[in-house]
A = this chain, B = another copy of it.
Amino acid sequence: MRHFLSTADWTRPELQGLLDRAAAFKTGTVSRALEGKSIALLFFNPSLRTRTSFDIGANKMGGHAIVLDAKGATWPLEFADGAVMDGTAEEHVREAARVLSSYVDLIAIRCFPEFKDWPSEREDPMISAFAKHSTVPVINMETIVHPCQELAMMLALQERIGAVQDKTFLLTWVPHPKPLNTAVANSALLMAAKFGMNVRLLVPDERYRLDERYMGAAERFTAEGGGSVTMTTDVEAAYTGADAVYAKSWGALPFYGHWDDEAPFRAKGRDFMITPEKMALTNNATVSHCLPMRRNVKIADAVVDSPAFLGIEEAANRLPVQQAVMEALASQGGVK
């Protein structure tokens, strides 16, 4: 039985198959793959697009979505094996996953890291425990990667610029008042590399390098399938000739858990907001950002409101790509 936890576990042809299916949904193809089936959407963190698009997508395919707010509306969960549960957690994932599996046909989970201890949080313990104990397929709705966003991004890019092989993809750190999850940055890096793009990672300081698991995977993908991965702090060089710009802010991993120390390095990127001046250096590049997005902090209004902006199409693509993922997982032979 296959889960959808990270695109790193799926081959490029498999991912392209999901994108092609999503494109078909956009032009009227109808699937009833979830007829009589249900999906639990388990949120440990807030969501607007994800819960709406998963719910609508399941409904369009004849299925039924149950939205569960894991903080507040349900019980605190333990995921460690052998835990003596005398703290705040009322239930172990071993039970929660098996019981949910008895009710529904798919389980989707959003669980952001806690920003305290990267060595343990990089193991993605909650969704890993669900995937281990669930008897139905598990979908990642954003943990330390965000594979559904990646698919939506790549579909929007292919729709706008066609084949992306060997095109230049600028993944730029942008300002934000506080350190954020690296998930979307990790995912943008993985997906652009998987599809053979020349990935430039622009950061205000080398300390903003992403986790080696993702940097290394991106290097392997490009070694095998073409493209390249480079990191730079040179804004002008990074933008020059880029075909696609992708913006994201994140917290530098060396300061994980003691974030106050990150401030001076974060300050080095104070001018990293995407502006028309920077965009003028590119090869008429598209620009995008997952949503939510702070205007005039991460990207200037003049860029967001220009034809180069792909963020709305990318967000709209969440619906058909997630339909494709749900269909693919639900149609595995012999599941449940």
- A235 at interface, CB cutoff 8 A: no
- Bound form: Cα–Cα A36–B36 in Å: 16
- Closest chain B CB from A54 CB (angstroms): 10
* Number of residues of chain A lying within 8 A (CB) of chain B: 57
User: Which residues of chain A from 58 to 89 have a CB within 8 Å of any chain B CB?
Assistant: 59-60, 64, 66, 68-69, 72-75, 78, 82-86, 89
**C-alpha gap A83/B295 in the complex (Å):** 7
**Distance between A122 CB and nearest chain B CB, rounded to angstroms:** 24
Q: Are A53 and B297 in contact (CB under 8 A)?
A: no
Cross-chain contact B47 with A84 (CB below 8 angstroms): no
- Contact digits for A143-162, partner B, Cβ 8 Å, 1 yes 0 no: 00000000000000000000
Minimal beta-carbon separation of A179 from chain B (angstroms): 14
In the complex, are the beta carbons of B316 and A86 less than 8 A apart?
Answer: no
B47-A74 in contact (CB<8A): yes
Query: Does the CB pair B56–A295 fall under 8 Å?
Result: no
Contact with B along A17-60 (1 / 0, CB 8 A): 00000000000000000001010100100111101110110011
With the chains together, A43 CA to B90 CA distance in Å?
18
Give residues 70-125 of A contacting B (CB, 8 Å): 72-75, 78, 82-86, 89-92, 94-96, 98-100, 102-104
- CB atoms of A66 and B91 under 8 A apart: no
